[in-house]
């Protein structure tokens, strides 16, 4: 089993920055695609940033325009999401997710692709 625990969510002003963290534990050796998703009230959960574990191969959604970045500290079993120039539309619950399949798949943005999820951390921008 794999456990994911997010932290770092907060209320910030427009234009501010936040760094979210995800602690990964359990059967981590089989994890391949790691990512961050978000879900705003009344909206579907959407992928934000993905990272092929152990590499620098990442994927972002175009609408972010480079404001967010994903990184990993394998030694610490941590995944991070750096968010800059936050906007009101970034307000959402942010989730860490992990898959035993690689990111280079046409399904990488589908929530069903990820069997492991954290409980989420709230980001509010006003």
Dist CA 1 CA 116 (whole Å): 9
> Can you read off the two tokens belonging to residue 109?
């943005």
Question: C-alpha angle with apex 91: 90 to 93, nearest 5 degrees?
Answer: 110
Structure confidence at residue 72 (pLDDT): 96
Per-residue DSSP letter, 111: G
Looking at residue 26, its pLDDT comes to: 93
Q: What percent of the chain has pLDDT over 70?
A: 100
pLDDT in tens, 46-92: 999 999 999 989 999 988 989 999 999 999 999 999 999 999 999 99
114 class by beta-carbon count within 10 Å (0-12 exposed, 13-18 middle, 19+ buried): buried
CB 85 within 8 A of CB 36: no
The CA distance from 1 to 107, in Å, is 22
């Amino acid at each position: 089993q794999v456990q994911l625990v997010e932290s770092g969510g907060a209320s910030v002003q427009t234009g501010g920055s936040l760094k979210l963290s995800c602690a990964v534990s359990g059967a981590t050796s089989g994890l391949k695609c790691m990512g961050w998703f978000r879900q705003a009230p009344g909206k579907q959960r959407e992928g934000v940033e993905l990272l092929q574990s152990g590499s620098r191969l990442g994927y972002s959604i175009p609408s972010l325009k480079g404001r967010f970045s994903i990184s990993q500290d394998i030694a610490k079993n941590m995944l991070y999401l750096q968010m800059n120039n936050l906007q009101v539309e970034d307000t959402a619950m942010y989730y860490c997710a992990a898959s035993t399949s690689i990111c280079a798949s046409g399904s990488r943005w589908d929530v069903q692709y990820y069997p492991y999820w954290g409980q989420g951390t709230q980001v509010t921008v006003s």
